[in-house]
Amino acid sequence: MAQSHKAADSGVAANVQALLDGIEEARAELIDITQALVRIPSETPPSDTRAAAREVAGRLSGLENVAVTYHSSETPIENLVAVARADQPGKRLILNGHLDTYPAGDMDTWDDDPFSGALQDNRIYGRGSADMKGGIAGALVAFKLLARNPHLWSGELVLTLAGDEERMGELGTKHLLDTVPEAHGDAMLCADVGSPLVPRVGEKGMIWLDVFATGKPAHGAHVHRGESAIDALRTVMNALDGLANHEVDTPAEVMRTIDAAKAVSEPLGGAGEAEVLRTITVNFGRISGGTSPNLVAAKAEVSADIRLPMGVTVAGIEAEIHRLLDPIDGIRFEINCRYEPTWTPPDDPIVTSVLRACRTVLDSEAVANMRVGASDARLYRLAGIPAVVCGLTPHNLGGPNEYVDIDELVSIAKIQALSALTFLSPQ
């Protein structure tokens, strides 16, 4: 019996090494795919992902056990689903990613054309190189390698690539989850940006709030005869700032995860990340009002981004917002976007599979943590599907000269492949 176990272990080790070697040999292909996708603009808006989806499909042609379909609920957003089946039945793992990007912004602030895919100093430059066309290249190469070796794993491996992620994913990943059975699975792994040292297993929730104030106009020298809409907004903003002191009943497993990750996660995510993960934050991202310094403002508006940690609910915070704002005269408010905080238990098989892969590939003690920002992973968790985000370091995210490190790109592809092999292991 001991000998059979040793033989099995030896076989697994050989499969792992063959997979890692296969990714290493695909380094040039990873670079080529990333550059090709960066050279296809897919900014949101308008989130035109048709050409990017066709580029990916072309890379999958010729694989006999792979089926590719396109799905769209609104032009020009096109989503792609590719399904590979192993030689024997088993679980289904989703490799998810988004094809759309932030806008490139002012072209003059870039050193090169933001859609050049320029290769320099072991880096690939361009809008979306890190977020997340490099991650898609890694997932695609891992998917192809496993599809060519269906005897190594069991079940189904599904690649879901969507648009509209930068606008919350309603017409992208959400559409796929609502309409495509193959988009559902036993778990999901996404190579969205972050760090391979810190796979993210949960995300804060969010409420977007617009507040509109009206006042009584008057001359600025006669403030006693007017009522300032801007003063009303100041009262609103002070009240909403108080949400930071709202009690949060952080689940014990979430607290342990945040605390255990802090030493590794904060040097990457910034000092104070652990505290932000445990508290409600309020950001006033847009404000307008008034017409002239010497007039009492008749109208004013402010928009707030409120992030919700694990341990509170949207309903509970909405009730608190009403308690704070309803007594304020001269204002009305609208909530135009909301979703709950979500997380996957840190002992879930997809989490342990990803952590094992990260530690094997990086030869470093990767740790799981929560995520302050949003990704399409939340849509999978809200659908009851465990999900992990593990992707590239976002160099110059959202700004000029965004780039991806090629060595890390190769590592992400290895982590995707090894995570899938472990999760879909027939043993």
Q: Are 45 and 137 in a shared domain? A: yes
Residue-number span of the structural domain to which 156 is assigned: 14-202+341-423
- How many independent structural domains does the chain possess? 2
List residues bridging with 74 in a β-sheet. 77
**Within a domain: residue 1?**
no
What pLDDT, in 10s, does the model give residues 214-249?
Answer: 999 999 999 999 999 999 999 999 999 999 999 999
> Using CA atoms, how far apart are residues 324 and 305, in angstroms rounded to an integer?
16
What pLDDT, in 10s, does the model give residues 346-372?
Answer: 999 999 999 999 999 999 999 999 999
List residues bridging with 306 in a β-sheet. 207, 282
> Using CA atoms, how far apart are residues 25 and 207, in angstroms rounded to an integer?
45
List the chain residues with pLDDT less than 70: 1-11, 427
Q: Are 223 and 269 in a shared domain? A: yes
Q: Are 280 and 389 in a shared domain? A: no
- pLDDT at position 426 is 83
pTM for the model: 0.94
**Within a domain: residue 325?**
yes
Place of tokens 């409420």: 207
263-299: b (≥16 Cβ within 10 Å) or e: ebbbeebeeebbebbbbbbbebeeeebbeeeeebbbe
> Using CA atoms, how far apart are residues 92 and 154, in angstroms rounded to an integer?
9
| Residue 173 CB neighbours (<10 A) | 31
What pLDDT, in 10s, does the model give residues 134-179?
Answer: 999 999 999 999 999 999 999 999 999 999 999 999 999 999 999 9
Angle between helices 314-325 and 229-241 (to 10 degrees): 140
Residue of 81, 25, 65, 56 whose CA lies nearest to 152 = 65
> Using CA atoms, how far apart are residues 422 and 230, in angstroms rounded to an integer?
57
Q: In 363-405, which residue ranges form alpha helices assigned H by DSSP?
A: 377-382
Q: Are 146 and 213 in a shared domain? A: no
Of 312, 339, 366, the residue that ends a domain is 339
Q: Are 236 and 93 in a shared domain? A: no
Of 316, 339, 362, the residue that ends a domain is 339
Which residue type, as a one-letter code, is found at position 143?
A: F
In angstroms, the first-to-last Cα distance of the chain is 16
- pLDDT at position 146 is 97
Q: Are 36 and 169 in a shared domain? A: yes
- pLDDT at position 1 is 46
One-letter-per-residue 3-state SS of 70-88? EEEEECCEEEEEEEEECCC
- pLDDT at position 12 is 79
Residue of 294, 296, 329 whose CA lies nearest to 226 = 296
- pLDDT at position 13 is 86
Q: Are 39 and 118 in a shared domain? A: yes
| Residue 138 CB neighbours (<10 A) | 33
CATH of the domain at 360: 3.40.630.10
